[in-house]
Amino acid sequence: MTAEQNQSDASEDLDLTHISRQRLERVMVYLDDATRVLFDFLNAPRRSVSVSFPVEMEDGSVRVFKGYRVVHNRTLGPGKGGIRYHPDVTLDEVSFLATLMTWKCALIDVPFGGAKGGVACDTKQLSPIEIRRITRRFISELGNAIGPHTDIPAPDLYTNAQTMAWIYDTYDMLHPGKNNLPVVTGKPLDIGGSEGREEATGRGLFFAVQRFISTNLTPELTTLEGAHVNIQGFGNVGSIAAQAFKEAGALITGISDSEGGVYCEDGIDLESAHDHKDTHGTVVGLPGTQSLTHEAFVEHDCQILILAALNNEVRIDNAHNIKAQLVVEAANGPVTPGADKILNERGIQVLPDILANAGGVLVSYFEWVQNNENERWELSQVNAKLKSKMQNAVDAVVNRWRTLSTEEIANGSQELRSLQETTDDETQWVSSTQVDLRTAALAIAIERLCKVTIERGVWP
């Protein structure tokens, strides 16, 4: 690494509030004056609730937990977003994630706004009874802050269908006498959950990548057959995606979890990986694979790198070393703004979180519709709708990216013009232009949102 790179490493601002604002500012460059007037409105969360509540632990002690629920925007519909249980949960993190939910719902075109919630706690140190007590107390503290037509939670890090069942039950106890199933999504199947919800994010991500590589924006990666795929985070999203890529003929060459990563150039047997993780609690040590540290894993050889673990994993200190031709954000915010710029300059495409992981909220929306209509859809119906919506969103983002790139060239950027390659039948873009896919995706989302904001009118 050069001295210049080291110098800039120290100055990368990873504050989530700043990242959120920076990204919004960047996309404003491409939008019209009527949209820019709404900048402050788009930047600020509409409502933030912070609560502290006591819980009696199994040993008889009483601990106080902090919880948050933020609704960033409700212009397009009720707030929608997960509830996470993690020791690092803060109001800033929840606000950042709520903002992403607003953009995601607008981009994928579901009538929801953005929200997020969380409780600062370590579920690995808590018994199921304690987690249930935390959940019930948190939801009762939120009171009418959530509701089937105002703000609808879902699972997130270290919460699951069981947690959603407790949320539903608590809310239903407090609001008896009506159909409260749509107050939360990601519920167990026998309490109004949807077929395909648990696999939706990984499966949706696969549909998005499959469509994306057919658009010629990754000239050296045009088929999944034989493609080398590394997946950081072999959890729900990562393992479901791994299976889908494998079935499409890709080689899953690397997988990782919180303990580290493993790599095998000939492809990892996923069944053995699951068995090893069940037995040893990690994929590390899987026979026939090479072990890698977290740092080495992200930089290792592959064509597609899927980031399905945490935020800020590709930064300016490692973006120069990424080998993949396509980076896919399954987690929220795994690539920092500084890394975005470096990857873009290097011609590496990043399929952004608000597009790549939108399958989860999409099937949550399907669950909400089924609950409201007292219906149950077949899995094939859910998956067909998921595929079609993900493909439409990818097409919209790629088209918008092409338009924005053309405008930049028309505006006279010599640098960009030199990146345009003309082939016999069409003008083909190589991937390294100034505007990136994230900006194109955000442009679509923010335009949709602002159009409705203006149509509804700023109240009063």
Q: Which residues bind ligand NAD (CB under 6 A)?
A: 156-157, 201, 232-238, 256-258, 294, 308-310, 330-332, 357, 360
Min dist CB 116 to ligand NAD, Å, is 10
Min dist CB 277 to ligand NAD, Å, is 8
116 is catalytic: yes
Who contacts 37 (Cβ-Cβ below 8 Å, separation ≥6)? none
Tokens 């820019």: give the residue: 36
Min dist CB 177 to ligand NAD, Å, is 31
Given the residues 116, 277, 387, 389, select the one marked as catalytic.
116
Q: Based on CB atoms, which residue is closest to ligand NAD, 78 or 204?
A: 204
d(CA 216, CA 82): 34
Q: Based on CB atoms, which residue is closest to ligand NAD, 234 or 401?
A: 234
Region of 389 on the Ramachandran plot (φ > 0 left; ψ -120 to 50 alpha; else beta): alpha
d(CA 340, CA 87): 28
Name the residue with the smallest CB distance to ligand NAD.
235
What are the structure tokens assigned to 352, written together?
């952004």
Who contacts 379 (Cβ-Cβ below 8 Å, separation ≥6)? 195, 196
Q: Based on CB atoms, which residue is closest to ligand NAD, 160 or 403?
A: 160
Min dist CB 89 to ligand NAD, Å, is 12
Who contacts 408 (Cβ-Cβ below 8 Å, separation ≥6)? 416, 433, 434, 435
Region of 312 on the Ramachandran plot (φ > 0 left; ψ -120 to 50 alpha; else beta): left
Min dist CB 97 to ligand NAD, Å, is 8
Min dist CB 339 to ligand NAD, Å, is 16
Contact between residue 218 and residue 437 where contact means Cβ atoms under 8 Å apart: no
Q: Based on CB atoms, which residue is closest to ligand NAD, 252 or 331?
A: 331
Backbone angles phi, psi at 372, to 5 degrees: -70, -30
Q: How far is CA 396 from the centre of its chain?
A: 18
Min dist CB 311 to ligand NAD, Å, is 7
Q: Which residues are catalytic?
A: 116
